[in-house]
Chains A and B, each alone.
Chain A
């Protein structure tokens, strides 16, 4: 009897084990339906009535009055359902993981992709039925990918991209040479060469420095990874493997990244020693304003600070407040990043040019998993990301839309940046936690590289091979840090 019972138990256990064996096709089918049913279980399509949606927006949108216009328009449209959107009245950097579980978080939040994707692991945000949104195809895959999350082999979109944040070139139009249209516009496109390609910008910077007036052309703190890493990316470098999702692989030295680092080294030679630390980041505003620097690279969110400083400078010269502001807005130009020479040689005449890649971020909307009104929240996200609202947002905030139709309609810098995003020239900051280990080793390398331009006898980076070795050391340092500190 005992033996019989044992056999029955063995048979039952074996049968239980075998239930796990099935074909992959069946699995896939199961997963697709699971994905759909997961979304349907959240969004049943019926708008909740008489609910208040707490929306967390960014400070600039509130300050410039855009957010009020947005919620007023939304509340008007959905008043028959009694849905009211209000300001969550919280810090724009609030952590949903802290406040959400206790019921104090917002229903809808607008943050950068790396912030939003941090909530995925703890299931603090709901996936969004992105593919059913009418403008899904208007937003490039690179932007959607910033919000993509894999669960059980299926992809979910955890947010809706709204704006693109990336590096731009800021320069003083009134500091261009008088003859730029004849001598600095080879392709006769009415855009000065020095803001179109790095070779011309290097040449112009060199001529300013050699004039001995104490002025400089392009200036930037080179240790700053956010701005300098783009030079590595442009020649094949990357941060993490599998499109910045696999921290087991670090590739800052990959491809010909050393060529990009060499471009930085060359640029350092037409700056001063302030490019080694954050001096230029700190004094850039006043130095651009007083004409010591011709150009710098930064993000569009500090545009007003440059304008304020330049206007103060004009006021000092006797202009009225209004005149000074108008003149500042006319003379400070924000442009896309210049093209890089394919060879990496900044002194080459008529070089073949390649677009410069830059680190960037995608800001967007996400829906809290603690909301009691997911359908109304989704309606708000759809409304806020509609063409009309995105255009209004651009008009009031000067932000760069992630939607192709809006970017095209706006034109200018927005279109250039959008195209860069679409073509993969904006490398979206990885949303993995291991990213924290990237900054310090890379900063140290860039600072050392910049310092090399000012060393006399003991130069470290005398060849691209030596730069490559330096970058490989950085890769290893990051990997060591991830595996010893993050785990």
Chain B
């Protein structure tokens, strides 16, 4: 009995120690970046050891007021515009694609599914040169809507998770609705949409976070400084602007965190509660 207690305590100590060490390893870079954003001197070259020698709020003030060269508020609004619209349009298209693939049987359905599965295995940046050339032909370089168009149109390629979700909703619900005279659109709108709230929230969140932090596509398509997104803008900062970089990187996490806390409750709410009443 005593031996068991000892083993249990040892297991607990080892597990917790390992978890603490691992969490510290992950926490440390974030903590360092947050501290760097409060550095008084502004340059990474002036650190004594690993951390800034003096702290102040000046960098955050500068980030939003000194916009002559580095217009962070503008970059922030551009990023927000791209992320919000990409998320809205992308979610709409993904849900429609997933629902169609899950609920309807049509010719070449399997072939399309296999095709999208294979195409999805290629990294998106593979087609960047082609995307660039196409966008030049459409005159969509230096246009935020060009970036939104690419994000939104490529979103349905990742419909498989959502299709898997729709597959779990019993077909008997659809059949019951059809017997009651509901059209396909009504079934989708009145039954599946409310049921798939957690999946819509998940899709919206992932469709938002990718454009929010992506670098490659905006760097490729947005050449003018006033159209930069935060990721591209931060990369363009001079080497003496490290604390501004850190402050910008810390601040960009704020909307994601807020969004996460607002939407998380929808994601974990009951999925099919009250769907089929006996």
Number of interface residues of B (CB under 8 A): 24
Given A63-B68, A104-B141, A104-B142, A89–B225 Cβ distance below 8 Å?
yes
Mark the stretch among B2-10, B38-46, B107-115, B172-180 that contacts chain A.
B38-46
Residues of chain A in range 84-128 having any CB-CB distance to chain B below 8 Å: 89-91, 94, 99, 102-104
CB distance A286 to B225 under 8 Å?
A: no
**Chain B residue with minimal CB distance to A283?**
B45
CB distance B45 to A285 under 8 Å?
A: yes
Q: Contact partner of A62 among B48, B69, B136, CB < 8 A?
A: B69
**A206 proximal to B (CB < 8 A):** no
Q: A284 vs B68: C-alpha distance in the bound complex, in angstroms? A: 29
Chain B residues whose CB sits within 8 angstroms of the CB of A304 once the complex forms: 240
**A312 proximal to B (CB < 8 A):** yes
CB distance B238 to A309 under 8 Å?
A: no
CB distance B46 to A309 under 8 Å?
A: yes
Residues of chain A in range 55-104 having any CB-CB distance to chain B below 8 Å: 59, 62-63, 89-91, 94, 99, 102-104
**Chain B residue with minimal CB distance to A308?**
B41
Q: Contact partner of B240 among A99, A282, A305, CB < 8 A?
A: A305
**A5 proximal to B (CB < 8 A):** no
Chain A residues whose CB sits within 8 angstroms of the CB of B69 once the complex forms: 59, 62-63
Q: Contact partner of A305 among B40, B43, B48, B236, CB < 8 A?
A: B43
CB distance A286 to B223 under 8 Å?
A: no
**Chain A residue with minimal CB distance to B228?**
A91
Residues of chain B in range 130-152 having any CB-CB distance to chain A below 8 Å: 132-133, 136, 141-142
Q: Contact partner of A102 among B44, B48, B53, B136, CB < 8 A?
A: B136
CB distance A59 to B46 under 8 Å?
A: no
CB distance A286 to B236 under 8 Å?
A: no
Interface of A is mostly: helix
Q: A305 vs B238: C-alpha distance in the bound complex, in angstroms? A: 12
CB distance A102 to B226 under 8 Å?
A: no
**Chain A residue with minimal CB distance to B135?**
A102
Given A284-B45, A309-B41, A99–B53 Cβ distance below 8 Å?
no
**B167 proximal to A (CB < 8 A):** no
Given A59-B69, A286-B46, A94–B41 Cβ distance below 8 Å?
no
Q: Contact partner of B54 among A99, A102, A302, A312, CB < 8 A?
A: A312
CB distance A91 to B225 under 8 Å?
A: yes
Q: A281 vs B239: C-alpha distance in the bound complex, in angstroms? A: 13
1/0 per residue, CB under 8 A from B, across A275-318: the answer is 00000011111100000000000000010110011001000000
Chain A residues whose CB sits within 8 angstroms of the CB of B68 once the complex forms: 62-63
Chain B residues whose CB sits within 8 angstroms of the CB of A305 once the complex forms: 43, 45, 240
Q: Contact partner of B236 among A91, A102, A285, CB < 8 A?
A: A91
Chain B residues whose CB sits within 8 angstroms of the CB of A102 once the complex forms: 132-133, 136, 141
CB distance B45 to A90 under 8 Å?
A: no
CB distance B240 to A302 under 8 Å?
A: yes
Residues of chain B in range 38-67 having any CB-CB distance to chain A below 8 Å: 40-46, 48, 53-54
Q: A325 vs B212: C-alpha distance in the bound complex, in angstroms? A: 40
CB distance A104 to B54 under 8 Å?
A: no
Chain A residues whose CB sits within 8 angstroms of the CB of B41 once the complex forms: 286, 308-309, 312
11 residue pairs of the A-B complex, CB under 8 angstroms, read A59-B69, A59-B238, A90-B223, A104-B136, A104-B141, A281-B45, A282-B45, A284-B45, A285-B45, A304-B240, A309-B41
Residues of chain B in range 193-246 having any CB-CB distance to chain A below 8 Å: 223-226, 236, 238, 240
10 further A-B pairs in the complex, CB-CB below 8 A; given A89-B226, A284-B45: A63-B69, A89-B225, A102-B136, A282-B44, A283-B46, A286-B45, A286-B48, A308-B41, A309-B46, A312-B54
Chain B residues whose CB sits within 8 angstroms of the CB of A62 once the complex forms: 68-69
| Interchain residue pairs A-B with the least CB separation, the first 3 | A89-B224, A102-B136, A286-B46
CB of B61 to closest CB in A, whole Å: 15
CB of B140 to closest CB in A, whole Å: 12
CB distance A94 to B223 under 8 Å?
A: yes
CB of A477 to closest CB in B, whole Å: 28
Chain A residues whose CB sits within 8 angstroms of the CB of B42 once the complex forms: 308
1/0 per residue, CB under 8 A from B, across A402-428: the answer is 000000000000000000000000000
Residues of chain B in range 120-138 having any CB-CB distance to chain A below 8 Å: 132-133, 136
**Chain B residue with minimal CB distance to A289?**
B46
**Chain A residue with minimal CB distance to B240?**
A305
Q: A308 vs B58: C-alpha distance in the bound complex, in angstroms? A: 14
**Chain A residue with minimal CB distance to B226?**
A89
Q: A285 vs B48: C-alpha distance in the bound complex, in angstroms? A: 11
CB distance B223 to A312 under 8 Å?
A: no
CB of B65 to closest CB in A, whole Å: 14
Chain B residues whose CB sits within 8 angstroms of the CB of A90 once the complex forms: 223-225
**Chain B residue with minimal CB distance to A65?**
B68
Chain B residues whose CB sits within 8 angstroms of the CB of A91 once the complex forms: 225, 236
CB of A213 to closest CB in B, whole Å: 19
Chain B residues whose CB sits within 8 angstroms of the CB of A286 once the complex forms: 41, 45-46, 48, 53
CB of A420 to closest CB in B, whole Å: 26
Chain A residues whose CB sits within 8 angstroms of the CB of B43 once the complex forms: 285, 305, 309
Chain A residues whose CB sits within 8 angstroms of the CB of B133 once the complex forms: 102
